[in-house]
Homo-oligomer: A and B are copies of this chain.
Amino acid sequence: MPVLVMKFGGTSVANLDRIRRAAKRVGVEVAKGYDVIVIVSAMSGETNKLVGLVDDTSPLYDAREYDAIVSSGENVTAGLMALTLQEMDVPARSWQGWQVPLLTTSAHSQARIEEIPTDNLNAKFGEGMRVAVVAGFQGLSPEGRITTLGRGGSDTTAVAFAAAFGAERCDIYTDVDGVYTTDPRISPKARKLDKISFEEMLELASLGAKVLQTRSVELAMRYKVKLRVLSSFEEQSDEAGTLVCDEEEIMESNVVAGVAYSRDEAKMTLLSVADRPGIASIIFGCLSDAGVNVDMIVQNISEDGRTDMTCSLPTDQVARAKQALEQLKTDGGLNYAELVTDDGVAKVSVVGIGMRSQSGVAAKMFKVLSDEGVNIKVITTSEIKISVLIDRKYMELAVQALHDAFELEKV
């Protein structure tokens, strides 16, 4: 029988009523003839409670014990979901990561999936089990210890199962009903996309769209897993939500698929640093060692062998970044005239695979912002994305103006 993977996040299994609602959705797919693999998260709040216990016990915890503790939330949901399905006369069984087994690396708390042998589950499907409820986010290390997969681990688990079992589709049930052209809270004209390409979804995910984790999209792209994002709080048809797929499957699409934003950005500029090979490596190596997540990087034109180096970073990491660079200057590792920071900026991006074939998107974007009187501070581009740093106070205006200009409300 064809296999379907369905993943339910924490809010979708937050209590027994919601678990029942999710189980009904599973029942619908079983009735259509699918063997279903259900991936569940912990009931919302449970993982945070367990993490709190760990933090209170041991601030510098042993990641092996952390994994053994926090993975228990998913185990509870998996058992409850299996029982709920059984109550509906759907033959179901729960599986913890080690029982499948979902084999991972030994990198506790951020393990990567190595292999998912299909024998155990397939044997049970052969005996009449129709639903395998698998605890997400967890696996088994070569040493026989429980691992967890880090942020977005349950999405990644779902995609990995879909790949291993050649599933027809991987449905991610969440608290939004799909991927939007932009955040509906910012632009009321935001439109749900029926389809989006893996590449676009990847950019949107890394730009802060909370719908899917970057890692799960990467995995889906690599293994050509059809991903669907849809709401667990609405009645669903077969065409509900947003399908994330190969761009070949998207017949026609707008040049721009969506407008993304990131609110809490800061800009930092090092004035007059030596323009010589290795200087960027020194600066960003220093910031990386200090645990600063640098995003955009631009370097100005060189003059007299000196240049300015600008980057963007989260506002709450500015202090740490300044301290690290000033220390480096004191130690003689780096020479610069001045360190200027501006923590009142935001990032706005347009994303679309159409940009590859159609020129003028950047020019149009810059004109729209200029017409609205928005000054651009930094620009970076990729093949399918243009991001600008602007004053934070213009962020919503910019998102709305770009959404209008690229006519994203229209199909």
Check: A286 CB closer than 8 A to any chain B CB: no
Q: What is the bound-complex CA distance between A78 and B87, given in angstroms?
A: 32
B61 touches A83 (CB 8 A): yes
CB-based contact B68/A78 at 8 Å: yes
Is A69 among interface residues, defined by CB-CB distance under 8 A? yes
Residues of B within 8 A of A53 (CB): 16, 76, 80
Chain B nearest CB from A344 CB (Å) reads: 41
A50-79 near B? 1/0 per residue, CB < 8 Å:
100110111001101110110010011011
Given known A65-B79, A69-B75, A72-B72, contact A84–B57 (CB-CB < 8 A): yes
Pick from A91-99, A287-295, A297-305, A317-325 the stretch touching chain B.
A91-99
Instruction: State the oligomeric state as a number of copies.
Output: 2
Given contacts A53-B76, A80-B57, A99-B144, contact A68 B94 (CB under 8 A): yes
- In the bound complex, residues from chain B placing their C-beta under 8 Å from that of A82 are 62, 65, 68
Contacts of A84 in B (CB 8 A): 57-58
With A16-B56, A93-B64, A144-B99 as contacts: A76 and B72 at CB distance below 8 Å: yes
A254 within 8 A of B: no
- What is the minimal beta-carbon distance from A64 to any residue of chain B, in angstroms? 7
Query: Which residue of the partner chain, among B75, B78, B83, contacts A58 with CB atoms under 8 Å?
Result: B83
CB distance from A216 to the nearest CB of B (A): 25
Q: Which residues on B sit within 8 Å (CB–CB) of A380?
A: none
Q: How many whole Å from A34's CB to the nearest CB in chain B?
A: 21
A86 interface contact, C-beta 8 A: yes
Q: Quick one: closest B residue to A17, CB to CB? A: B56
Q: Does A255 contact B (CB under 8 A)?
A: no
Interface: A40 (CB within 8 A): no
Interface residue A19 (Cβ < 8 Å from any Cβ of B) = yes
Are B72 and A75 touching (Cβ within 8 A)?
Answer: yes
Interface residue from B83, B93, B98 paired with A54 (Cβ < 8 Å): B83
Contact mask for chain A residues 234-271; partner B; CB cutoff 8 A; 1 contact, 0 none: 00000000000000000000000000000000000000
Residues of B close to A145: CB separation below 8 A: 99
Question: Which chain B residue has the least Cβ–Cβ distance from A68?
Answer: B79
Q: Which residues of B contact A75 (CB under 8 A)?
A: 68-69, 72, 75
> How many Å lie between the Cα of A308 and that of B262 in the bound state?
86
Which residues on B sit within 8 Å (CB–CB) of A54?
79-80, 83
Distance (Å) between the CB of A11 and the closest chain B CB?
Answer: 17
Using a CB–CB cutoff of 8 Å, the interface residues on chain A facing chain B are 16, 19, 50, 53-54, 56-58, 61-62, 64-66, 68-69, 72, 75-76, 78-80, 82-84, 86-87, 93-94, 96, 98-99, 144-146
Starting from the known contacts A64-B93, A69-B79, 14 additional A-B residue pairs (CB-CB under 8 Å) come to: A16-B56, A53-B76, A54-B83, A58-B83, A58-B84, A58-B86, A65-B79, A65-B93, A68-B79, A68-B94, A69-B83, A72-B75, A96-B146, A98-B98
Q: List 20 A-B contacts (CB under 8 A).
A: A16-B53, A50-B76, A54-B79, A54-B83, A57-B87, A58-B83, A62-B86, A64-B93, A65-B80, A65-B82, A65-B93, A68-B78, A68-B82, A68-B94, A68-B96, A69-B75, A69-B79, A69-B83, A72-B76, A98-B98
Would you list the 7 A-B pairs with minimal beta carbon distance, nearest first?
A69-B79, A72-B72, A58-B83, A68-B79, A65-B79, A57-B83, A65-B83
